[in-house]
Chains A and B, each alone.
Chain A
Amino acid sequence: MPTDLERSADAGRGGLVRGPQSLIAGLALMALAAFAIWATSDLPQGTLRAMGPAMLPRWLAVGVGLCGLALVVFAFLKAGEAVSASDYAAVAVVSGILVASVLVALVLTRMTSASFANAFYYAFLLLFYGGAAAVLLLAVSNQRWVIESNLRGPLFIMAGIFAFGLTIRVFGLVIAGPLAMIIGGLATPEARWKELVIFAAAMTAFCVGLFRYALNLPIPILIVPGIIYI
């Protein structure tokens, strides 16, 4: 079943933009190139004889930009693939959260003495988990556009990984492992709570045995701050 967006994209292929996919990709690549050129703008370029740190990245960025331009041009000349909302919904949401957190962090660093990196980190995580929870609620309440946008999969996979990263140092694998599996496991609408929890517990036990005791990797098992450190 093509979604409404797909159908409108199909219809649009007879019009001016004949390859919507390459148009979006091309514009994104040009934005990436501009970003890289901006990011290296404070570094010296040097000469061919003694290349500076910025020379190669800048050339490469120009190359990426040209490829993007070519894709944009092709989008008008050649009929290409259509784009559906589900292709870019996840990355659009995450980029939106990213930009919002940069703004929040900039404001916070002005107002308080917090460092930019820290402020950004907390703002991003808060907004991200808020967004993921909202998506889950909307998906569970059967909002059609949320289900069609395919947001749930990518967002919850990321949420699971972030959860692991946040807790492994603080609480250890016994907490981080099941957390990653359960949050990540919610990425599919087929998830079943009971099954997931039992399976997560069993896999974590297996991993503790394998990685810590059989392979001797320095991975923390259980930390209760000030009391237990295994």
Chain B
Amino acid sequence: MGDIFSNLGLGFAVALTLQNIALCFLGCMVGTLVGVLPGVGPIATIAMLLPITFGLDPVGALIMLAGIYYGAQYGGSTTAILVNIPGEAASVVTTLDGHQMARQGRAGVALGIAAIGSFFAGTVATVIIAALGAPLTRLALVFGPAEYFSLMVMGLVFAVVLARGSILKAVTMILIGILGSTVGTDLETGQERMTFGFPFLSDGIDFAVLAMGLFGIAEIMRNLEHTETRDVVRAAIGRLLPSAEDFRQAAAPILRGTLIGGALGILPGNGAVLGPFASYTVEKKLAKDPRRFGRGAIEGVAGPESANNAGAQTSFIPLLTLGIPPNAVMALMVGAMTIHGIVPGPQVMTKNPNLFWGMIASMWIGNLMLLVINLPLIGLWVRLLKVPYRLMFPAILMFCCIGIYSINSATTDVMAIAVFGLVGYVFIKFGFEPAPLLLGFVLGKLMEENLRRALIISRGDMMTFVERPISAGLLIVAVLLLAVAVLPTIRKGRDEVFVE
């Protein structure tokens, strides 16, 4: 226990310097600013804002990025409540009751309880990360290539099970993602794979480019299809501070949401996305009068929002301890860390304790700041939301271009986001969700590396993955999960969760 406090003490000492507080503040601000824009989720926001952290020292840059992440998350909830447009899968649930509350003139209370719930969830999640960080890092040290490979297989199976829509399509997306990661120079032999002689492909496809195309540009193309029917709440925002009665109703859902979201967020393979759905279902089951849900029940905002934020934060755990990004946002964090010369993984905590604990402490500070800056600024966000989409999307387009150009100063990167944008647009049109593709792409390189290494060690014997106990255990979990997901009864339940 003492360790946690001394470590967190170190973290706060780093995070509370004037410069880092300012960076955290700035990150939260711009993160919210971009995240509020309808149709811009956290992935596109981070990809767009990545370049603004380049000039900073690694600690400052990561603190700012974490701030951008929370800001984007919170901005997404604001849009979900005020406009009924979810910025990402996780805030779909918030639109159900949040927007109804807003229509009843209780937008302020909905936003307030979302912020307070998120802050509480963030506080708990910070403690969870601090407590689990050290033991999990020790666990990582007994992991060999075979274990890493199996862990990633399990993560991808999770992603398949958690993806919306058809399982077959999710598997396809993951395979295409891994296939995409093999484009470029082969690390061991130096031979070029599937580059067709184009020099810009010899380093492989850049992750930020792929993410920006699939999530930023494709989203614009999709939004343009519908003539604008943005339902910005016209009713007054109302008071922000929830009443004592609201608090009484929301307290238990916040607590349950935090626990559900926090636990799911640790899972590899984007468990965090399940948190809000699970929390909403639980609250609806527990409610005395479930019919209130979908008609502005405060529990339906408080629980999922807390779960969302707790999961967003605990999903840092697999990245920081094992070096495996559990979802696309964390994959962007890997990119950002690599640019600053930090390889995520168990060695970060021992080699760079300042960075590790500073970042964790700044997560809490970031959450506090969101609470402080967002509530007074809601008027500004509402005004921003009233800007018509015909002006908003060209600006988003330019930001995407500038953002992606400044990462490598390469014009081919800019061209590529257009192409991936079209690809992502077609995927969505045919009912393929791009999120699993991105995760497959991120884990692809790591998987191939570990697969090859494991097979070299075992002299080409595939049995190594089943003979090593930890690896076998992980694979069994993966197989069971997949089997369970394909079972008809469970599949029906899964479909219901996502339909709600």
| A positions within 8 Å CB-CB of B | 21, 24-25, 29, 32, 36, 39-40, 43, 47-54, 56-57, 60-61, 63-64, 67-68, 70-71, 74, 81, 83, 86-88, 90-91, 94, 116-117, 150, 153-154, 157-158, 160-162, 164-166, 168-169, 173, 176-177, 180-182, 184-185, 187-188, 190-192, 195-196, 199-200, 203-204, 207, 211, 215-219
B411 touches A190 (CB 8 A): no
Please indicate which of the listed interface residues B397, B423, B431 has the most CB atoms of chain A within 10 Å of its own CB: B397
B426 touches A160 (CB 8 A): no
| B376 beta carbon closer than 8 Å to chain A | no
Quick check: which of B123-131, B167-175, B235-243, B260-268 contacts chain A, the rest being far away? B167-175
Q: Name the residue of chain B whose CB is nearest to the CB of A74.
A: B168
5 contacts between A and B (CB under 8 A): A43-B193, A56-B182, A57-B193, A87-B429, A164-B401
Within 8 A of A (CB), among B385-427: 388-391, 393-395, 397-402, 405-406, 409, 411-412, 414-415, 417-419, 421-423, 425-426
Chain B residues positioned under 8 Å from A91 (CB to CB): 422-423, 425-426
Q: Name the residue of chain B whose CB is nearest to the CB of A38.
A: B194
Q: In the complex, what distance in Å separates the CA atom of A167 from the CA atom of B280?
A: 49
Within 8 A of A (CB), among B439-489: 448, 451-452, 455-456, 459-462
A191 touches B390 (CB 8 A): yes
B194 touches A52 (CB 8 A): no
Q: In the complex, what distance in Å separates the CA atom of A47 from the CA atom of B186?
A: 16
Please indicate which of the listed interface residues B398, B402, B452, B462 has the most CB atoms of chain A within 10 Å of its own CB: B398
B182 touches A181 (CB 8 A): no
- 17 extra interface residue pairs, beta carbon distance < 8 Å, beyond A40-B193, A91-B422, A219-B402: A25-B430, A39-B194, A48-B462, A49-B456, A60-B182, A61-B179, A67-B172, A157-B220, A158-B418, A161-B217, A165-B411, A168-B414, A182-B394, A211-B51, A215-B51, A219-B406, A219-B409
Chain A residues positioned under 8 Å from B452 (CB to CB): 51
B55 touches A215 (CB 8 A): yes
Given A157-B221, A188-B224, A25-B411 contact (CB < 8 Å): no
- For the complex of A and B, the 6 pairs showing the least CB-CB separation, nearest first, are A49-B460, A165-B414, A153-B224, A53-B186, A48-B460, A161-B418
Q: In the complex, what distance in Å separates the CA atom of A71 from the CA atom of B462?
A: 30
Q: In the complex, what distance in Å separates the CA atom of A158 from the CA atom of B224?
A: 13
A36 touches B197 (CB 8 A): no
Q: In the complex, what distance in Å separates the CA atom of A91 from the CA atom of B422?
A: 7
A161 touches B191 (CB 8 A): no
B394 touches A200 (CB 8 A): yes
B194 touches A160 (CB 8 A): no
Q: In the complex, what distance in Å separates the CA atom of A158 from the CA atom of B38?
A: 20
| B189 beta carbon closer than 8 Å to chain A | yes
Q: Which of B401, B409, B418, B429 is close to A218, meaning CB atoms less than 8 Å apart?
A: B409
Within 8 A of A (CB), among B197-250: 197-198, 217, 220-221, 224-225, 227-228
Chain B residues positioned under 8 Å from A70 (CB to CB): 168
Please indicate which of the listed interface residues A63, A184, A185 has the most CB atoms of chain B within 10 Å of its own CB: A184
A57 touches B426 (CB 8 A): no
Number of chain B residues close to chain A: CB under 8 A? 70
Given A56-B448, A57-B179, A153-B221, A219-B405 contact (CB < 8 Å): yes
Smallest Cβ distance from B163 to chain A, in angstroms?
A: 14
Smallest Cβ distance from A8 to chain B, in angstroms?
A: 18
Smallest Cβ distance from A130 to chain B, in angstroms?
A: 16
| B52 beta carbon closer than 8 Å to chain A | yes
Binary interface encoding of chain B residues 72-105 relative to chain A, with 1 for a CB under 8 A from any of its CBs, else 0: 0000000000000000000000000000000000
Q: In the complex, what distance in Å separates the CA atom of A61 from the CA atom of B197?
A: 20
A185 touches B168 (CB 8 A): no
Chain A residues positioned under 8 Å from B59 (CB to CB): none
B54 touches A21 (CB 8 A): no
Smallest Cβ distance from B182 to chain A, in angstroms?
A: 4
Smallest Cβ distance from A221 to chain B, in angstroms?
A: 12
Q: Name the residue of chain B whose CB is nearest to the CB of A182.
A: B394
Q: Which of B172, B224, B415, B451 is close to A165, meaning CB atoms less than 8 Å apart?
A: B415
Q: In the complex, what distance in Å separates the CA atom of A29 from the CA atom of B427?
A: 11
Q: In the complex, what distance in Å separates the CA atom of A168 from the CA atom of B455?
A: 46
Smallest Cβ distance from A183 to chain B, in angstroms?
A: 9
A217 touches B54 (CB 8 A): yes
Chain A residues positioned under 8 Å from B431 (CB to CB): 21, 25, 81
Chain A residues positioned under 8 Å from B388 (CB to CB): 190
Binary interface encoding of chain B residues 171-192 relative to chain A, with 1 for a CB under 8 A from any of its CBs, else 0: 1100110110010001011010
Q: Name the residue of chain A whose CB is nearest to the CB of B448.
A: A56
Q: Name the residue of chain A whose CB is nearest to the CB of B177.
A: A60
Q: In the complex, what distance in Å separates the CA atom of A145 from the CA atom of B454?
A: 56
Chain A residues positioned under 8 Å from B418 (CB to CB): 157-158, 161-162, 165
Q: Name the residue of chain B whose CB is nearest to the CB of A189.
A: B227
Q: In the complex, what distance in Å separates the CA atom of A71 from the CA atom of B189?
A: 35
Smallest Cβ distance from B404 to chain A, in angstroms?
A: 9
Given A165-B411, A181-B398, A60-B217 contact (CB < 8 Å): no
B391 touches A154 (CB 8 A): no
Chain A residues positioned under 8 Å from B364 (CB to CB): none
A217 touches B224 (CB 8 A): no
Chain B residues positioned under 8 Å from A218 (CB to CB): 406, 409
| B432 beta carbon closer than 8 Å to chain A | yes
Chain B residues positioned under 8 Å from A190 (CB to CB): 227-228, 388, 390
A116 touches B179 (CB 8 A): no
Q: In the complex, what distance in Å separates the CA atom of A198 from the CA atom of B182?
A: 44
B426 touches A90 (CB 8 A): yes
Smallest Cβ distance from A125 to chain B, in angstroms?
A: 9
Q: Which of B51, B194, B397, B448 is close to A180, meaning CB atoms less than 8 Å apart?
A: B397
Q: In the complex, what distance in Å separates the CA atom of A43 from the CA atom of B429?
A: 34
Please indicate which of the listed interface residues A51, A150, A182, A203 has the most CB atoms of chain B within 10 Å of its own CB: A51
Chain A residues positioned under 8 Å from B189 (CB to CB): 52-53
Chain A residues positioned under 8 Å from B448 (CB to CB): 56
A94 touches B417 (CB 8 A): no
Q: In the complex, what distance in Å separates the CA atom of A203 from the CA atom of B411?
A: 21
Q: In the complex, what distance in Å separates the CA atom of A158 from the CA atom of B415?
A: 8
Smallest Cβ distance from A208 to chain B, in angstroms?
A: 10
Chain A residues positioned under 8 Å from B54 (CB to CB): 217
Chain A residues positioned under 8 Å from B432 (CB to CB): 25
Q: In the complex, what distance in Å separates the CA atom of A117 from the CA atom of B398?
A: 27
